[in-house]
Amino acid sequence: MTSSAVDEPARPARAQKAEWQLRLYVAGATAKSVTALANLRRLCETHLAGRYEIEVVDLLVNPKLAAGDQILAVPTLVRKFPEPIRKIIGDLSNEDRVLVGLDVKAVGK
């Protein structure tokens, strides 16, 4: 988490936007942000493999971006697409709640 807005395309080869566009807002590399990102990656790989894109925004580097998505708490995960926008705050430790929050159908359940 050194750069400001790190694009992490899951499938760099694909030209068009991924079906699931997620953005994770953090404030520096705190324990909570690291946990949140790790939780998010694992969850996406499990349930949305190949269909997602994660963008990490570090507000310490880009404070201006906080107002745009109405960020209050960190970490905050924002589902930009599919619409409507949804927000999940916290370190995403409870996978079931994250899935509900994102409205993702769990794989293998």
Partner 1 sequence: MKQKTANGATAVPKAPTGIDGLDEITAGGLPRGRPTLLIGGPGCGKTMLAAEFIVQGASRFDEPGVFMMFEETADELAANVRSLGFDLDKLCGQKKVALDHVRVERSEIEETGQYDLGGLFIRLGHAIDSIGAKRVVLDTIEALFSGLSDHAVLRAELRRLFRWLKDRGMTAVITAERGGETLTRYGLEEYVADCVIVLDHRVTEQISTRRLRVVKYRGSPHGTNEYPFLIGDHGFLVLPITSLKLDHGAPLERVPTGVAKLDEMLDGHGFFRGSSVLVSGSPGTGKSSLAARIGAAACERGERVLLFSYEESAGQLVRNMRSIGTDLERWTKQGLLRIHASRPTLQGLEQHLVLMYQAVREFTPAVVVVDPISNLTMHADDAGLKPTLMRLIDFLKQSQVTAIYTSLVSEAGAAFADSEIGVSSLMDSWLMLSNLEANGERTRALQVVKSRGMPHSNLVREFVFSERGIDLIDVYLDSGRPLTGRLRMGAQGVAANPEAAPAGATRSKP
Residues at the site binding partner 1, with contacts judged by CB under 8 A:
25, 27, 32, 35-36, 39, 59-60, 63-64, 66-67, 70-76, 85-94, 97-98, 100-101
Kindly state the tokens that stand for 20: 């699931």
Residue 9 vs 82, nearer CB to partner 1: 82
Kindly state the tokens that stand for 103: 């409205």
Instruction: Output the smallest distance, CB 51 to partner 1, in A.
Output: 20
Q: How far apart are CA 53 and CA 37, in angstroms?
A: 13
Report yes or no: 104 and 47 within 8 Å, Cβ to Cβ. Answer: yes
Residue 25 vs 52, nearer CB to partner 1: 25
Instruction: Output the smallest distance, CB 86 to partner 1, in A.
Output: 7
